[in-house]
Chain A
């Protein structure tokens, strides 16, 4: 039997076996169970919302107070440092497939998950990614359901609100809720994600919500160990002009694809790219940075080197656990990496990256349990 005959035998054998499947019975079973699951999910989401509104807020070591508002939009000069990036009055924040514009001086924090628990339940970093001691000093914040701290609390709709916020991917039902002190919280669903905005000023709220759109920067999902190639440049010899940072966390939903899910995206300019390329070029030869250690990556970054037209010339995978960078990587998980130095991370570990990745504090990350 030659190879073609063997392949045909496999084809016909599988086709014959598939034709014997009792599809009618199975599709009724599946349709019933899927419909029930959808009903359960809707009910759960509503209950989560109600529970979040009734649970008494846990008393936090860093108590949130409520006399901040949009009027505090400008950072206190005596407060945290100025944002490292000058991108005008608004910046774009990305989560999964969704992008939304927020005031450029808003910081970062947590957002409630499906259980209504947020870590941290307020602003924890300023716009540059520096720690915030007093949430009232932050004009507002962008929260994500990612825990980089063990300071967690249930979000209580009746509790005072320290500052306006945008929550990306929060486990909340779509709808509008009146909070304390004139804050109104509105949740919409877009591109498969929730976007929640709470402000006292309805115009600001409307402006943010009207900016919600599909993200067109980084790949929103990567398979666990699959390829990461993305919008490759037409001309591989084109001049590199921009550094794009895509951060991911490993999905953990039961029954999920178990792949990498996008937590943020940020485009930096040519100076950042130049500094980064120079630092990596001066790096050590690639090697396994974690010999004999069995570990599971849960956060990662892909650094894309872009040409003028936005084509991807090169993608480098960042392993923040065993600090190393795989130059020209084909997958997120690369065994051999160039040892990561602060010169390599300084150009891009700032702002949102410090809000979504823990990593090594010596390299500029927020650090574990930070």
Chain B
């Protein structure tokens, strides 16, 4: 995510509670990117973020008092997606969409990035969320455990499996070359 801290965010961190609209405006792009990585689809990401923001709006006085409202809402995004996945009988809900990578001229990088995405989309939703929270959001294991509502050891297991799958994918790719 964009690591730039705005003056507004500094005020929020200093204790001033943001209005829902101001907070949502500053966060929606990051949440959509996060949700896309978790869900694998732009439509599913929009649905998950919309559901999370609607609920956050309803409970804003509570959410805004949380130590980290972003974490609270990330949890809602993950839960919205995992719940939808469970309601659909544990079938994959979305087909991963292919986007042009900005570094398309670097074939090796593109190939590796594609391998990452293939691995991620093949992971079960909670495992994928753990991997995204660890390597995209840069959360530590206890924070991820809070977001996912699971034990820290479970998070470590999810991340380990994600990395192991990537190692296998990259090895097979190397062998094919």
Interface string of A241-279 (1 = CB under 8 A from B): 000000000000101111100000000000000000000
Q: Which of A1-29 contact B (CB under 8 A)?
A: 1, 3, 6-7, 9-23, 26-27, 29
Question: CB-nearest residue of chain A relative to B167?
Answer: A6
Question: CB-nearest residue of chain B relative to A15?
Answer: B136
Question: CB-nearest residue of chain B relative to A18?
Answer: B33
B92 to chain A, nearest CB (A): 17
Residues A257 and B32 in contact in the complex (CB < 8 Å), given A10-B166, A34-B24: no
Q: Is the CB of B32 within 8 A of A27?
A: yes
Q: Which of A342-356 contact B (CB under 8 A)?
A: none
Q: Which of B4-61 contact A (CB under 8 A)?
A: 24, 28-29, 32-34, 36-37, 42, 45-46, 49-55, 57-61
Q: Is the CB of B46 within 8 A of A26?
A: yes
Q: Is the CB of B55 within 8 A of A256?
A: yes
Q: Is the CB of A13 within 8 A of B112?
A: yes
How many residues on the B side are at the interface (Cβ–Cβ under 8 A)?
59
Question: CB-nearest residue of chain B relative to A226?
Answer: B149
Q: Is the CB of B100 within 8 A of A20?
A: yes
Tell me if A223 counts as interface (CB < 8 A to partner B): yes
Residues of chain A within 8 A (CB-CB) of B93 are none
Residues A33 and B79 in contact in the complex (CB < 8 Å), given A23-B29, A41-B58, A192-B61: no
Residues of chain A within 8 A (CB-CB) of B136 are 11, 14-15, 18
Question: CB-nearest residue of chain B relative to A32?
Answer: B50
Residues of chain B within 8 A (CB-CB) of A258 are 79, 83
Residues of chain B within 8 A (CB-CB) of A12 are 109, 112-113, 116
Could you say which of B34, B50, B146 contacts A226, with CB atoms under 8 Å apart? B146
Could you say which of A18, A38, A223 contacts B146, with CB atoms under 8 Å apart? A223
Residues A17 and B75 in contact in the complex (CB < 8 Å), given A26-B46, A34-B57, A38-B54: no
Q: Which of B43-89 contact A (CB under 8 A)?
A: 45-46, 49-55, 57-63, 65, 75-76, 79-80, 83
A14 to B159, CA, bound (A): 14
A250 to chain B, nearest CB (A): 12
Q: Is the CB of B113 within 8 A of A17?
A: yes
Tell me if A91 counts as interface (CB < 8 A to partner B): no
Q: Is the CB of B65 within 8 A of A7?
A: no
A19 to B104, CA, bound (A): 13
Tell me if B157 counts as interface (CB < 8 A to partner A): no
Could you say which of A6, A22, A31, A226 contacts B28, with CB atoms under 8 Å apart? A31
A113 to B59, CA, bound (A): 16
Residues of chain B within 8 A (CB-CB) of A37 are 50, 54, 57
Residues of chain A within 8 A (CB-CB) of B112 are 9, 12-13
Interface string of B107-136 (1 = CB under 8 A from A): 001001111110010000000000110011
Tell me if B139 counts as interface (CB < 8 A to partner A): no
Q: Is the CB of A6 within 8 A of B146?
A: no
Tell me if B99 counts as interface (CB < 8 A to partner A): yes
A233 to B162, CA, bound (A): 37
Q: Is the CB of B132 within 8 A of A14?
A: yes
Tell me if A130 counts as interface (CB < 8 A to partner B): no
Residues of chain B within 8 A (CB-CB) of A189 are 61
Residues of chain A within 8 A (CB-CB) of B75 are 223, 257
Tell me if A177 counts as interface (CB < 8 A to partner B): no
Given contact pairs A13-B112, A23-B28, A227-B151, enumerate 15 new A-B contacts (beta carbons under 8 Å). A7-B135, A10-B166, A12-B116, A13-B113, A14-B116, A18-B136, A20-B99, A21-B36, A21-B42, A30-B49, A30-B53, A220-B62, A223-B149, A255-B52, A259-B149
Q: Name B's A-contacting residues (CB within 8 A).
A: 24, 28-29, 32-34, 36-37, 42, 45-46, 49-55, 57-63, 65, 75-76, 79-80, 83, 99-103, 109, 112-117, 120, 131-132, 135-136, 145-146, 148-151, 162-163, 166-167, 170
Q: Name A's B-contacting residues (CB within 8 A).
A: 1, 3, 6-7, 9-23, 26-27, 29-31, 33-34, 37-38, 41, 96-97, 189-192, 214, 220, 223-227, 253, 255-259, 330-331
Closest 7 CB pairs of A and B: A13-B116, A20-B99, A223-B149, A192-B62, A226-B149, A18-B33, A13-B113
